[in-house]
Every structure is written in structure tokens, then in C-alpha cells.
Structure 1
Amino acid sequence: MSDIAAYLGAAVLVALAAWALASERRGVRQPIRWAGLAFVLCEGFSLALLAPATVAVTEADAGVDGLSVIALGDTVRTAALSFLMLLACRLNPRPARRRSPLGQAALAVAVQAVMVLLFVAARPTLTPDGNLIAAPSGRWLLAVRVALFAAYAIWALVEMFIALLPQARLAAAGPLRWGVRLVLAAIGTGVVWTLWSYDDIVHVLRYGKLDGSEDTVSNILGALCAALVVAGSLIGKWSTTFEATARWVRLCRCYVVMGPLWSALREAMPQIAFPEGGRPLLAGWPAGIQFALYRRVIEIHDGRLVLRAYHHPAVAAWLEDDNGTADAADAALVEAATIAAALENMRRGRRFTGAGQCGAYGAAAVDSALVPTDLDAEVRWLSRVAWAFRRSPVIPELLDRLRAEEGYGVASRG
């Protein structure tokens, strides 16, 4: 489980870095982007290097000293923290907290040198089960090394959190804000991951023993941190793609919802159908579904125009009697009922004198504020009408009343 979590986190981070490199545009290189890319790469490689299986395999099969692998993994992880600190200072909106790149480089080199010196001075040995055993005089040195790394990591993470927090507040609502929030969650996970190593200090001082590679909890926290970083980066980068996907799903839903109403109108009036052809349904995503949906809207509208002469003048009054209300919330139901009654009248060949004056939207009770003013509004309106046409239990009752109406002959045959 520990190895799987470590390798999975490493693969996710390296894949993110590879994708960022592939999508990098030619031109002026931005230091902020390259600092973030270096951090992601170093953190991914350190997860893979410090996995227990890596240490065991390199020592057993490749003949490489396990201590060298652990030292290399720690060095790469420390370098990742240095790049994170650089990124935080570059992103911080307050100029007072932006230290110079030369100062950051000097600090990074100093931390790396102290980490290596403490490791060498502690003179650890590696046991077959992957634990580091410090020399009797090196317990304090190894403990100081662990504490130094943890303090440096907490410092870098806090600096990054402070730099990103204003962006989370000021970012526009939507994917960008959620991307920043996920990165902040990754930073919080990184803090927990770092604090988890503080028990190693007590363990080293008491027993002189340290887990050379990452344990299961550390690797799981590392994989979770990597996943949050990738998710936050992709959500912010792919906000346009997510918006297009959401629009495509919405158009597909409207297309399906309109299906029963559209089918009923085309069955009654085949002449409203456009010739087949044009853009395929799924071509040019989402242009294909948009083309098919708008063609369906036009055909439904043409069918409603043909049905004007068959509108029953009492539909709105019947609905008001049955429901006790005729407010704007029932306008879609009034329109659906009017269409259903008109289709029934067309099948019976009955027209109503003056019915065409009701307009393209049928019932005169429809609030003028609800009349769509653009194509997207028309799609939303027709989706409501189609849902009521297919789902409302009022319409079958109204059709039964229409068929049983006395004096149906008031309608003049056309």
C-alpha cells in the first residue's frame, strides 16, 4: 500500500509536469511557471526515490547503496521546497515579502549543505528492513536534520498559503476559485504530512532509529497532496473546457426533454420537418448538438404556428378552474396544454374562429415577460413546455374533458 501510494503520487505529479511542458508556448519564459514546474518535478521524483520498494530494489538488484538513494531522495525533496519558497515569494502580492532570487538561492544552497553535513556527521547505517540507525554520537545530529527539514517545509508551505489566500478571495466565482481552493487544500495536506514526521525526532533521540524511506501514512498523505495539486491546476487551466462540457450537457438535456413534444408535432405535421442532413449530432462538440437542438426549436415553433387555428379558447380557464391559479409559474403548463388541445382538434379536423389571434405562444394568459427574447431563452422555455407536455397529469385530464365536452360543435369545421 505504501509503495502504491508513493508511485501513484509520483506518476500524477510527473504527468502534470509533462503536460505543462507540452503545452508551454514559445516566447518569453515566465519564472513563476518554471519555479512551479520544477517544484512539481522534484516532489514527484522524491516520492518515487523514497518509496520503500525503490530503496530495496536499488540496493539488492542495482548494487546501489541504499543510503545514497535515501540521501538523494532527501536532497531532491529539499530542492522541491526551495522551488516552492521561490514560487511563494514571486506570487505574494505584498512587495515587502518578495525576497530576491539570489537570496532564495543562497538560502536553498545553505539548507542543502547543512542537510548533507548533518547526514554525514550522524554516520547512519541502513538495516535490512529499511531503517536508519544513527551512530551513538549521531542521534542528536540526525534529529536536528529531521527538525530542520520539517521547519523548512512548514515555512515554505506557510509562505505559499499566505501568497495564495488573497487570490482565493479575489478570484472570480467558478473553476478558477475552486482551483485555488484545491491548491490551498493541498498545502494544508502538506502541512499535516510534514508534521507527521515530528514523531521521528523523538524516535531518533530515544532509539537512535529512523525510517529511511517514507512510511504508509506519509506516502498516502503525499499522494493526496499530489492529487489536490493536479486537480487545482487542471481546474484553473481547463475552466473553458469545463464550461463547454457543462453547456454540452445542458444542451443534451434540453434536446432529450424536447423529444416528446417535437415528435408529437412532427407526427401531426410532417411538413414542418427540415430535410435530413447537415451537421451530425456529435460532430464539432458541442456544435453538433447545438445545431440539432436549434433545428428542433425551429421545427417546434413552425408547428405551433400551424396550430394557432386549432387553439381551444377555454384551455386557460379550465386550468384555472382545476388548479385555482393562473399565475406566471403555470405559463409553461398553459402553453403545453394549449398545444395538446390543438393537436387533438387537428386530429378531429376542428378549427376555432379567431383562435389565431392568441399569437404564436397560444394562450393569451401567458405573461409577456415570459416570451423568449433570444434563442437560448427559447430553448429554456421550450424545455419547460415540453416537460409539462410529457409529465403533467393535468393534460390527460384536460384532453378527456375536451373529448367529452358538450356542444363541441361550437367549433366550426375548417
Structure 2
Amino acid sequence: MNTVFLGMACLLAAASGYWVLGRGTPRPTGTWAMGALLASFALAFASYAPLFEDAAETAVPHVARLLSNCASVAAATAVLAVSFQLNLEPAEAQRRIRLRLFLLAGSAFGMTILFAYEQMAHRSPQAYALYLLLYISYLSFAVVDFLVQVVRQSKSTRRSSVRIGLRLAAVGCGFALVYTAYKLTRLLDLGLGLHLIPDHPECSSLVTMPCIFSVTSPALAVLLICLGLTLPAVVYPLSQARRRRWEAQSFEALGSLWQDLSAAMPEIVLTAADDAQDSSNDSDFLLQRRVIEISDGSLALRAFRPRAVQEAAQDAFGTGTEERAAAVEAAVVKAALAGLKTGRVADDVAPPAAGAASRKDLRAATEWLLLVADAYVNRVGRVRDDGRPELVGA
């Protein structure tokens, strides 16, 4: 168990250091609260390790329990602070956080006083019962408060990573409530003198009774809440990297179609503005510019789009799918470029591809043009004099 708990403590401590020191400036909202949360959870995990417990109790007997409980309530407060800062107006968030900090300070001070009195009174069960009551009251309040916010926010958020993370945190709150229920049962056991639960059970396994409630449940709560709150921060850079890779690949895939259009109509190439030069290496900027230029080129070819070629391409490639419609559009564009070079305007102009006007956002427009560019290079050969496109490889 030392390996599990101390390993998780080191991992959480490293994550706390990253959030506090490695986030750059200006620091995002909730940075310090998230750092405090992870540091508190790191201390809580460390306090569960027998090695840490033995080392601490050589100085002060049974102090590991106090350290663990104080770390737990501090982590619960930090969780609330993160949630408030991310979801409330700054003034309201500060007001609520200030109130929780006062409650935390009062609870930690009261627990410390009761712990000291318990030790001086030779393990007084009354003092221990009051200690448990104070600890359970604040922890339950914080967990329920956070759970209500998590459930409400998970229903309104649009980002799937945030929604999944909040649901993981809600499951973690469930394990935390199992832990508080165990502590409440222990409090009643002490108050009624039933002695159903050993005073100081030695936990050699995470699945034995009552260790599954006293150690495993809070450990799972810590793990799931940390994972749920940090999941969006981990997924976001990964999703951004995937987006940038797709943009770069799409930019290259549109190159052949863009080159033919820009060679025939140099005026469609946008002039690099001064404020856009700094974005010359930005994949989003480059792709958006290329999509605009191809779209402008297609509009400039409207008078040269022969309906006969469109109908012949529909007979050759068929209809009913995006890929077939893109092949038809590629044949029309190729014929229009040929007409532009010879100056032959179409007698009967082909209408735009179905649904072209509805592709307003960058991704939808790019995905359509990628199909057209692929068909332009790989499926459509020369357009014959009779208007029928030659199929590549046919």
C-alpha cells in the first residue's frame, strides 16, 4: 500500500506544481485553487500510507489521523473554490470562497483542539466523538455542496470532456459520501457504546472491512474528483493538437485544386495583410484562407460551368452520396477551367452543388472541398468534347 498511496501522492504533488508554476502568465482562473486542491489531495494520499503514518506518529501519537482529516477538508474546500471560480461571477465566487475558508479554518482549529484534548485525556471517547462530529459535518456539507453544482453543470455544458469529467467527479462525491456515512456510523457506535467497529483497525488490504470504507472509499473519491476536474485540461491540448494536424493535412490535400484555380485566376489569391503576417504559420488561418480562395475561384467560374457536363457526370458517377456529388462537382470545375482558358462561356450554366450554400462553418466547407479535391485529382480525368468526363483508371 505504501507504493500505491505514496506514488499517487507524488503524482498529485507534481500536478499541483504544474498548475501553480507551469501555467504561464497570466494565470488562468482557478489556478491557485486547483493547485491547493491537488496539494491537499497529495497530503491526504500520503497520510494513508503506513510509512507516512509510522513516521508522523513517532513524533506525535495518532497525528496521522488529524493530518489526513485536515487534508480532506482542505481538499473539499479547494474543490468548491475551483467550482465557484469557474462557474460564478468573480464577486460572488469570492464571497462564497471566503465563507468556506472561514468554515474550514474553524473546523480545522476545532479538530486540532479536540485532538489535543483527546490525547491529554487518555483517548477520551467523548472528545473523539466531538472530533468526528465536527469533521463529518463540514466534510458532508462540502461534498453535498459540490455534488449539487456538479450535477447542475454537467447538464448544461456542451463540451463532452467537461461533461464526462463532471460525471466522474460526481461518482467521486458518491464515494466521499460513503466515507462520511462510515464515519457517522462510527460516531453512533461510539455514542451508543456498541463497539461494533474497532477503534484503530490495521489495514493490510484495501478490500477488507472496515478498510474498504475508511481508506478505499476516500482514496477513490480523491482519485475520481481529481481526474474529473483535470480531464478537460488534459483533453483540451490533445484535441487542439488533433485539430491542428487535421488543418495542416487538409491544407495540403487542397493544394492541387487550389493551384489550378489560382493559376487560372491569380486574383483569387488574397493579399497578405500586415496583421495577418504574424498568423502565417497558424494552420487555422492558412486553411481558412485556402478554403476562401477556392470558394472564390468556384464563384468566378459560374459563367463557365456547363450543365451538359454536370448531367453527364451525374450519369457517370451517380447521385445520392456526398462522394458522388463531389465527383460531379469536380468534373464541372475541370470543365469550367477548360472553358475559362478558351474563353468559351457555357450556353446553359450548371447550378451549384446541392447543399453548398449550407456549408457555412470552416469544418463543413473544408470537408466538402476535400471530397471535391480528391475527386478532382483521383477520379476525374479530361472532359471530352462531348461533355463526358473521363474516369481516372477506367
- Give the TM-score range, shorter chain: 0.5 to 0.7
1:25/1:110 CA distance change after superposition, 3 Å: farther
1:284/1:67 CA distance change after superposition, 3 Å: farther
Matched, 1:184 2:170: yes
Which whole-Å deviations, capped at 9, do the CAs of 1:221-260 have from their partners, x for residues lacking one? 5555444444444466689867754642442352254356
Matched, 1:17 2:16: yes
Tell me the residue number matched to 2:3: 4
Match of 1:158 among 110, 130, 144: 144
Return 309-318 or 182-191, whichever deviates more. 309-318
Alignment of 1:9-408 (within 5 A): 9-22=8-21, 37-55=35-53, 58=55, 64=58, 67-68=61-62, 70-77=64-71, 79-80=73-74, 83=77, 87=81, 102=102, 105-118=105-118, 149=135, 152-169=138-155, 180-194=166-180, 205-206=195-196, 208=198, 210-212=200-202, 215-216=205-206, 224-234=220-230, 244-245=240-241, 247-258=243-254, 261=257, 265=260, 287-294=281-288, 296-297=290-291, 313-321=307-315, 325=319, 331-339=325-333, 353-355=344-346, 358=349, 363-367=350-354, 370=357, 379-389=366-376, 395=379
Equivalent position amino acid for 1:386 in 2: A
Which whole-Å deviations, capped at 9, do the CAs of 1:152-189 have from their partners, x for residues lacking one? 53343113323544444455656665554444343234
Equivalent position amino acid for 2:353 in 1: V
Q: Secondary structure in 2 aligned to 1:355? A: coil
Answer whether contact 2:307 2:348 (CA < 8 A) is retained: no
1:324/1:78 CA distance change after superposition, 3 Å: closer
Between the aligned partners of 1:407 and 1:89, the Cα distance in structure 2 is 64
Between the aligned partners of 2:72 and 2:320, the Cα distance in structure 1 is 70
1:25/1:213 CA distance change after superposition, 3 Å: farther
1:240/1:99 CA distance change after superposition, 3 Å: same
Equivalent position amino acid for 2:67 in 1: G
Answer whether contact 1:82 1:108 (CA < 8 A) is retained: no
1:151/1:101 CA distance change after superposition, 3 Å: closer
Q: Secondary structure in 2 aligned to 1:216? A: coil
Larger Rg over CA atoms: 1
Between the aligned partners of 1:352 and 1:373, the Cα distance in structure 2 is 31
Between the aligned partners of 2:82 and 2:234, the Cα distance in structure 1 is 23
Equivalent position amino acid for 1:338 in 2: V
Between the aligned partners of 1:195 and 1:152, the Cα distance in structure 2 is 13
Long gaps (5+) in structure 2:
389-394
Between the aligned partners of 1:375 and 1:247, the Cα distance in structure 2 is 12
Between the aligned partners of 2:51 and 2:258, the Cα distance in structure 1 is 62
Q: Secondary structure in 1 aligned to 2:200? A: strand
1:215/1:190 CA distance change after superposition, 3 Å: farther
Long gaps (5+) in structure 1:
124-137, 409-414
1:327/1:48 CA distance change after superposition, 3 Å: closer
1:74/1:367 CA distance change after superposition, 3 Å: closer
1:224/1:8 CA distance change after superposition, 3 Å: farther
Deviation at 1:51, TM superposition (A): 0.8
Q: Secondary structure in 1 aligned to 2:353? A: coil
1:207/1:83 CA distance change after superposition, 3 Å: closer
Between the aligned partners of 1:321 and 1:90, the Cα distance in structure 2 is 61
Tell me the residue number matched to 2:392: none
1:249/1:222 CA distance change after superposition, 3 Å: farther
| Structure 2 length-normalised TM | 0.61
Deviation at 1:13, TM superposition (A): 3.3
Deviation at 1:335, TM superposition (A): 1.2
Deviation at 1:19, TM superposition (A): 3.7
Equivalent position amino acid for 2:177 in 1: V
1:322/1:140 CA distance change after superposition, 3 Å: farther
Identical positions, percent: 22
What is the alpha-carbon root mean square deviation over aligned residues? 5.8
Deviation at 1:382, TM superposition (A): 1.6
Tell me the residue number matched to 1:412: none
Equivalent position amino acid for 2:51 in 1: A
1:341/1:19 CA distance change after superposition, 3 Å: same
Answer whether contact 1:51 1:213 (CA < 8 A) is retained: no
| Structure 1 length-normalised TM | 0.59
Q: Secondary structure in 1 aligned to 2:351? A: coil
